[in-house]
Amino acid sequence: MARTIAPLIALLLLLPALALVIGPAGGQIPPDVQFTAIRDYPVDSDRTSLYNELIIEITMEVTQEGGYTIACVLSVEASGNTYVIDIYSANHWLEEGTNTVSISFPSESIFRTGHSGVFRADIEVQKVDFNDIWEITHLTRFYDHRLFQAPENPPPVPPDAPIVEAGPNP
C-alpha cells in the first residue's frame, strides 16, 4: 500500500505543473487585455479656435498578437436622458505587449447633440477569433459642445419650392 501512495502523491503534486505545460484544451492559451491608461483630448487642426475632433486614446497590454475589434460608444447625459453622440468600430492589429489606439470622434457629431457635459466612452475590445470581450467605461472631462466646429454643409433646401404670395385671408 505504501508503494501505491508515494506515486499517487507525486502525481498529484505534478498535475498542476503538467497542466501549465500542456495548456488549455485545444492547445490555445486564451488572450488577455488589460487597460493601462485612457485619456481624452480635443484637437483644433485648422486653428479656428473650434475643435475639429475629440480623441479617446486607449493604452492596453495584450498577451496575444492578432486582429482585435475595438468599439466605442460616445454618449452624454442631459436632463435625465442619455444621448448617443457617435459610435466607432474598427479592426486593429495589436502586437503582444503595450498598444495604443486613438479613436477620433468628429466635431460635427458632438456639436449636433446640443449638449455639453462629461462624455461617457463605453469601450469594448474583442479578439477577432475569440469570444471574450474586455470592457471599460471612461468618463471624459467636461466639454462644451459649442466649442466643437459645426457641420459645414447646412441641410439641403427643398428644390423649387413653390412661391406663395401673401394675400387677403378669406
**164 lies in a domain?**
no
Total count of domains within the chain: 1
Specify the pLDDT at position 19. 46
User: Considering the domain boundaries, does residue 24 fall inside one?
Assistant: no
Lowest mean pLDDT among 8-12, 43-47, 61-65, 93-97: 8-12
With a threshold of 0.75, does the pTM exceed it? no
- We report the CATH number of the domain holding residue 37 as 2.60.40.10
Nearest to 138 by CA among 155, 120, 124, 152: 120
Cα–Cα dist 41/52, whole Å = 11
At 111, which helix (H) or strand (E)? helix 107-113
Residues 6+ apart with CB under 8 A from 123: 35, 38, 56, 58, 70, 71, 72, 135, 136, 137, 138
Does 20 reside within a domain?
no
23 within some domain = no
Residue 170: per-residue pLDDT: 58
Section 125-148 average pLDDT: 94
Q: Is residue 1 part of a domain?
A: no
Domain membership of residue 6 (yes or no) is no
pLDDT, mean of residues 2-7: 58
Predicted confidence at residue 131, as pLDDT, reads 85
Determine, yes or no, domain membership for 169. Answer: no
Query: 104 lies in a domain?
Result: yes
Instruction: Show the domain range for 136.
Output: 29-146
At 15, the pLDDT band (50, 70, 90 cuts) reads very low
